[in-house]
Chain A
C-alpha cells in the first residue's frame, strides 16, 4: 500500500453491514446471527429490499455476545443478560460522568 495515501473509511451508520459482512467481522457463521436476531438478543434494521442491516452498536453487541458465549460456553440468553448489564453499566457511567461535569 502507498504509505502516503490517506484512507477514507466508511462509517457503518452510512453503509450498514449485511449479515455476511457482519459474520465476517465477528468471525462467526451467518446462522449464528440469524438465530440471535430471531431470539431477540440482537437487533438489526430491515431495508426496503427486505435485507437485514447492522450498524456500529449491533456489531459491538454481537462481538460481546460471541466473546461471552465462547469463553464461558454460555447460553445465548445468559450471554445477552451479561451484555445487557454491561451496556447498562456503560450508560450509568456516562450519566455519572455527566453529573460530575455538572458539579464542576
Chain B
C-alpha cells in the first residue's frame, strides 16, 4: 500500500497547530460535503479529508504518524514496521463507521490493534460486531417496475492471517424489490463487514438511486412523461402506442386535446399497494416542413377562423 500524506490532504504544514488543522478540516469539509459539493470526486475527497483529520486531530495518532512520516514520502510503497506504534496510546475504537483507506485501517483501525498486540493476544479481545456499512446503487426506473437482479461490487475490510487489515472486494447479487423508490434504503442483514473475534457481521444498507433519465419524472409512486402527438391526433383523437417504463401501452388520445393535456393511466406508475399512476403530458409536434404540409396548413389558415391570441387583446 501507499504511504498517505495527511498534511497534504488537509493542505497544512507539518508544523500546523491543532487549531490550524481544525480550521483547514472544516473548510475542506464544507467544500466537499457530499450534500452540497458540485465537485465530481467530492465523496472520495471527503473521505481523504476525514481520514487525515482523524489522525492529525488526535495528539497520539499524530505523533505516531509523524514518526512514520520521517521515513516515508507520500505515495511511496509502505508497510508498517513491527512495533511502529510502541509507546503511543491512541485508541482504535473512535474511528468506527468511517470508510477509511487500507493505509489508515492498517495503522489505526480496529484490526490494527489486533495486529499490534500480536496474534496470540487476539483471543483476549471481546467479540465485536462488524460495523454497519452504507452504499448506494443506481438502477433504471424500469428496474423498479420489473424488479429483478443486480450485481453490486463492494469493498469491505477484513483481517488477514497476519492480523493486517486488507480490503476485500466482493460481488453480491441483489434482488431489486419491485416498486422501490428513489431514496429508499434496502437492508441486507449480516452482509456488512465481518465482526472481530467471532462477533457477528454488520448489516449492509443500500440507498436506491435512479439513473438520470430526462424522459421521466418520478414523484413517490407516480411517474410522468411527455408524449409527442401530431396536431391531427390531438384534434381528431387517436389510439397510439406509447413506450413507457411500464411497457408499450396503447393509449386513447381524446379528440380536442391540446398541448400540455395530461392523461392519467391509473395504476401504471411504480408498482405497490396501491400502485402509482402514470401521467402522460401531451406535446403537440408539427410535421417537418414539406410542400404538402404547407399546402394543408395554408388551407387551414384560410378555412378556419381561429385567433389563438384573442384573449390577449384589450
How far is B189's CA from A25's CA once the two chains are assembled, in angstroms? Answer: 11
Known pairs A9-B188, A101-B214, A101-B224; A72 contacts B29 (CB<8 A): yes
Q: In whole Å, how far is B20's beta carbon from the nearest beta carbon of chain A?
A: 16
Known pairs A12-B185, A25-B205, A60-B207; A6 contacts B97 (CB<8 A): no
How far is B205's CA from A63's CA once the two chains are assembled, in angstroms? Answer: 12
Judge whether A11 and B184 touch: CB under 8 Å.
yes
Known pairs A11-B184, A71-B26; A5 contacts B35 (CB<8 A): no
Q: How many A-B residue pairs have CB under 8 A?
A: 97
Judge whether B283 and A104 touch: CB under 8 Å.
yes
Main secondary structure of the interface of A (DSSP, over half): helix
Residue of A nearest to B150 (CB): A6
The reply to whether the CB of A56 lies closer than 8 angstroms to some CB of chain B is yes
Judge whether B131 and A6 touch: CB under 8 Å.
no
How far is B174's CA from A7's CA once the two chains are assembled, in angstroms? Answer: 5
Name which of B59-67, B165-173, B303-311 contacts chain A.
B165-173
Judge whether B186 and A9 touch: CB under 8 Å.
yes
The reply to whether the CB of B226 lies closer than 8 angstroms to some CB of chain A is yes
Residue of B nearest to A56 (CB): B185
Which of B180, B191, B225 meets A11, CB within 8 Å?
A: B180
Known pairs A24-B202, A27-B96, A98-B224; A64 contacts B185 (CB<8 A): no
Judge whether B35 and A10 touch: CB under 8 Å.
no
From A9, A17, A97, residue with most partner B Cβ within 10 Å: A9
Total interface residues in chain A, CB < 8 Å: 37
Judge whether A71 and B29 touch: CB under 8 Å.
yes
Total interface residues in chain B, CB < 8 Å: 44
Known pairs A57-B183, A101-B217, A104-B214; A10 contacts B281 (CB<8 A): no
How far is B134's CA from A12's CA once the two chains are assembled, in angstroms? Answer: 14
Which of B33, B132, B149 meets A27, CB within 8 Å?
A: B132
Contacting residues, chain A, for B26 (C-beta < 8 A) = 71-72
Contacting residues, chain A, for B175 (C-beta < 8 A) = 6-9
Contacting residues, chain A, for B172 (C-beta < 8 A) = 1, 7
B residues neighboring A (CB under 8 Å): 25-26, 29, 33, 35-36, 96-97, 129, 131-132, 134, 149, 170-175, 177, 180, 183-189, 191, 202-203, 205-207, 214, 216-217, 219, 224-226, 260, 281, 283
A sample of 27 inter-chain contacts (CB < 8 A) reads A6-B173, A6-B175, A7-B172, A7-B173, A7-B175, A10-B188, A11-B180, A11-B185, A12-B185, A24-B203, A25-B132, A25-B134, A25-B203, A27-B96, A27-B132, A56-B184, A60-B185, A86-B36, A97-B217, A98-B224, A101-B224, A101-B225, A101-B226, A102-B226, A102-B260, A102-B281, A104-B283
